Homo-oligomer: A and B are copies of this chain.
């Protein structure tokens, strides 16, 4: 059984080890469940028929809303043995632009492997550990593919693109280049190799739901050299395809084995 994180407790309707765990006892008792942001309802749509074969990853800004509804969708569709991979772009630290980072773990802006949330007014902290076996499988794929630099490193997840990532070029900035360099170098020293804005909630929710999860992001610039993304459109487009190429290779390899 491949699990994301250390939790192995199983709940929900399905006895199969690989099925989705929905950490919410209310769903099974609901007559109808409306996935509002997807315009789908269990009473008007046949989820197993429509989505029973879904295995692909996604990467979008409102990833928490998407994940709540995607995880419920996969649950209603009775999908099992799911691997979910976030692909996207990021700012690199100490890496050649265009390098791809496979995340060892997601950390917050204080470098902790945690995702903090306020639930009913109380602070709830969840682990953001990712599946190590999946990291190794993806790294092996990158060696076989051998098309661009790929590293394994920690990924810092922030709530803001400007101040939250120590950029000097936002509408607000109350620190110096020296403060910024100090922060980014401290991040590098604890193994952080890139910065993005989705990985921590992605890792936390996938781990809670028994989904094998990975984060694969390309770095568009080296933040030690600057804040603005100045590469040409063509270069950026090619960079953005790199996580897709690596994950595409991984998916094909899995399908061949299946």
Beta-carbon contact of A65 and B161 below 8 Å: yes
Which B residues touch A188, using CB under 8 A?
Answer: none
One complex includes copies of this chain to the number of: 2
Beta-carbon contact of A229 and B34 below 8 Å: yes
Total count of chain A residues near the partner, CB < 8 A: 57
Contact of A36 among B71, B172, B228 (CB under 8 A): B228
**CB-CB nearest in chain B for A208:** B172
Which B residues touch A75, using CB under 8 A?
Answer: 171
Beta-carbon contact of A24 and B172 below 8 Å: yes
Which B residues touch A46, using CB under 8 A?
Answer: none
Query: 1/0 contact trace for A99-125 toward B, CB 8 Å?
Result: 000000000111100000111110010
Which B residues touch A179, using CB under 8 A?
Answer: 120
Beta-carbon contact of A171 and B23 below 8 Å: yes
How many angstroms between the C-alpha atoms of A62 and B62 in the bound complex?
Answer: 8
Interface check A159, CB cutoff 8 A: yes
Q: Which of A23-74 contact B (CB under 8 A)?
A: 23-27, 30, 33-34, 36, 61-62, 64-65, 67-69, 71-72
Q: Which of A199-244 contact B (CB under 8 A)?
A: 205, 208-209, 228-230
Beta-carbon contact of A23 and B173 below 8 Å: yes
Query: 1/0 contact trace for A121-141 toward B, CB 8 Å?
Result: 100100000000000000000
Q: Which of A147-155, A162-170, A246-254 contacts B (4 or more CB under 8 A)?
A: A162-170
Residues of A within 8 A of B (CB): 22-27, 30, 33-34, 36, 61-62, 64-65, 67-69, 71-72, 75, 108-111, 117-121, 124, 158-164, 166, 168-175, 179-180, 182-183, 186, 205, 208-209, 228-230
